Amino acid sequence: MASFSFRRAGPDDLAALVALLADDPIGRERESAGTPLDPCYAEAFSAIDRDPNQLLAVADRDGRVIGVLQLSFIPGLTRRGMWRGQIEGVRVAAGARRDGIGRAMLEWAIEECRKRGCGMVQLTSDKRRTAAHGFYEALGFRATHEGYKLAL
Amino acid sequence: MASFSFRRAGPDDLAALVALLADDPIGRERESAGTPLDPCYAEAFSAIDRDPNQLLAVADRDGRVIGVLQLSFIPGLTRRGMWRGQIEGVRVAAGARRDGIGRAMLEWAIEECRKRGCGMVQLTSDKRRTAAHGFYEALGFRATHEGYKLAL
């Protein structure tokens, strides 16, 4: 396994991040990965970056972005005021998918949630992404909930 | 149906909110509803209240809290930088459950998400809460995702 590190995403990563999100059978239809980059992404990056409860993280190998995920730290009243860490938008570059990077990214993210005092980590996974389900279960996640979505 | 209104929760609502969260077969085991109130709740309330992307909302009937839900507005890169509205901790007081308050609360929450520019509203529902599932589906939600949780 080649070495890689995790770090907070910066504005210079944005084009690579959008390319990564679009390089996926489900993501392809949802993103606008053309050049120049659609300004909606710079706006979104800025909203994430200025919110102290959001952390957009990249896996970096030799200066190349090979993975991304977003962590949201959510305060709540339930369960005695428990904070939740929520993971969204997990993607690993096609050429890096057999290198254990996905697993290492998730383990890193879970540890970040622990450091922030979260009592739970949660994520939803499209029921069509059957290969991902075994991956999350191997990390200790349990599909105890239905994930409901309503498009506006 | 008696009239009720929705408003942002204030610190004076806290004891009523915790009682509401604990008055539920699943919530009962998870909350500390004794008097004086466990300070963990005041701390959690303050974390929610100072985060501009969180909205703890109550349904109020004649000055009495009969329902609660938490809305989180989450910026993201995916789907062309779409904001998500997330609903958590939905509870309606036992004596008010047949008055359409749950439905009205959810419709109000969906409208708040629309006003904030969200492209999607999402929530997870414990697979044991089978009665809730028909309720969310009637509001237009679809259980397209598995909801994974990992306790820390």
Q: Report d(CA A131, CA A146) in Å as an integer.
A: 18
What end-to-end distance do the CA atoms of chain A give, in Å?
42
**Percentage of residues of chain A with pLDDT beyond 70:** 99
- Residue B99's pLDDT is 76
Give the 3-state secondary structure of residue A21: helix
Q: Report d(CA A8, CA B134) in Å as an integer.
A: 40
Residue B22 pLDDT greater than 70, yes or no? yes
| Average pLDDT of chain B to the nearest whole number | 92
**B142–A123 CB contact, under 8 Å:** no
Q: Which of residues 36-75 of A touch B (CB under 8 A)?
A: 38, 40-41, 43-45, 47-48, 51, 53-54, 56, 68, 70, 72, 74-75
pLDDT less than 70: residues of chain A: 1-2
- Residue A26's pLDDT is 76
pTM here?
Answer: 0.93
What end-to-end distance do the CA atoms of chain B give, in Å?
42
Residue B126 pLDDT greater than 90, yes or no? yes
Instruction: Give the ipTM.
Output: 0.92
Residue B118 pLDDT greater than 90, yes or no? yes
Among the residues of chain B, which ranges form H helices? 14-22, 39-49, 78-81, 101-115, 130-138
- Residue B34's pLDDT is 81
- Residue B2's pLDDT is 58
Residue B1 pLDDT greater than 70, yes or no? no
Amino acid at residue number A36? P
B chain contacts of residue A51, beta-carbon cutoff 8 Å: 53, 75
Average pLDDT over residues B48-71: 95
